[in-house]
A and B are shown apart, each in its own frame.
Chain A
Amino acid sequence: MVSGIPPFERFYECHRGEVLAFLQRRAGRDRADDLFQETFLRALRAYGRLEHGEHLRAWVLTIAANTVVDAARRERPAAELAFEPAREDERPAVEELAPLTDDLPPKERAAVVLRYGYDLDYDTIAAALGSNEQAARQAASAGVRRLRKEKEQQ
């Protein structure tokens, strides 16, 4: 075992069920099958570069979330999407949110998409980003502020 990183087989067995369930909820049963394979192929590609084996669940769910976002973007050009800045009680659907966050700094983009697109709690997001809850919260709200500003300038 390399610095606490389990063999990929163990990682895959441990998380495949939850990843599939997540993808089915977010992308529908039909598309979930393709996205399942894409998620774990992406994870496999990055797995050799992991430096520790912590937060692997949050890590793979983040990858799954990103494959959904990327698939939605492939299917629907950004120009067709309208975006009303989110009020606290109104979360834009992830398909609409994702393309609009393209220009955000990576950490803010990830925090915004995971929070408002996928409804993940800040603990999970923090784990995925390799930071703490406070920082995740700040990244998400900074991202939203930046989006509002961009919207106003248009």
Chain B
Amino acid sequence: MNAVPNVLDERFRAAAAASGELDVAFDVVDDTPVGRLLVGVSDRGLCRVGFDPEPEAELERLARLFGPRVLRSPQALDRVRNELDQYFEGRRHAFDLELDLRATPEFHRRVLVELSRVEYGRTTTYGALAAQVGAPRAARAVGTVMNRNPLPIVLPCHRVVGANGSLTGYGGGLDRKEWLLRLEGALL
């Protein structure tokens, strides 16, 4: 079995993304300050940011949610990668990306839309977010939504803390939450 030369492989991956036939184009960004990230875009926008990706499980998950035509295609993620780079360097305070939340349940989506209004460098609480979506007693459910956020960093669940100011929890681990909040100057 002969190996496929890199040039040929990359050319196909770029052509596949350009053809508009992919359900999801993804890439793994290796060396961000918060470790490896898997990022995925559909024809509607960013559909996945994952910490410490286990490719096998992530691909199955993307295929289940968006369709089986899932392919690694770095070119398709250029813009996402750029915006993330700028964010990590402290040069970008808001993301300018279309988001694809079609695989997210309705209540989750409402909470995430509310979350997207929490500005860079600010924090809010689970309870406050719950109140904003009209479910003031659903702080715990809001915690679950944060934990399952398909687009961490871009949808800033790291900006949600406990009522007493404790970091409480983070899908990607508390170290990352702390790092992101320090980057934004929300933690000293």
Contact = CB atoms under 8 A, between A and B. Distances in A.
Interface of A: 1-2, 5-10, 12, 16-18, 20-21, 24, 33, 36-37, 40-41, 44-45, 47-48, 50
A60 B63 CA distance: 20
B72 interface: yes
B68 A6 contact: yes
A133 B74 CA distance: 42
20 contacts: A1-B60, A2-B64, A2-B68, A5-B63, A5-B68, A6-B63, A8-B22, A17-B1, A18-B1, A20-B2, A24-B2, A33-B8, A36-B8, A37-B12, A40-B12, A40-B16, A41-B12, A41-B19, A41-B21, A48-B21
Dominant secondary structure of chain A at its interface with chain B? helix
A9 B4 contact: no
B15 A47 contact: no
B77 interface: no
Given A8-B71, A10-B59, A41 B64 contact: no
Contacts, number: 73
B9 interface: yes
B62 interface: yes
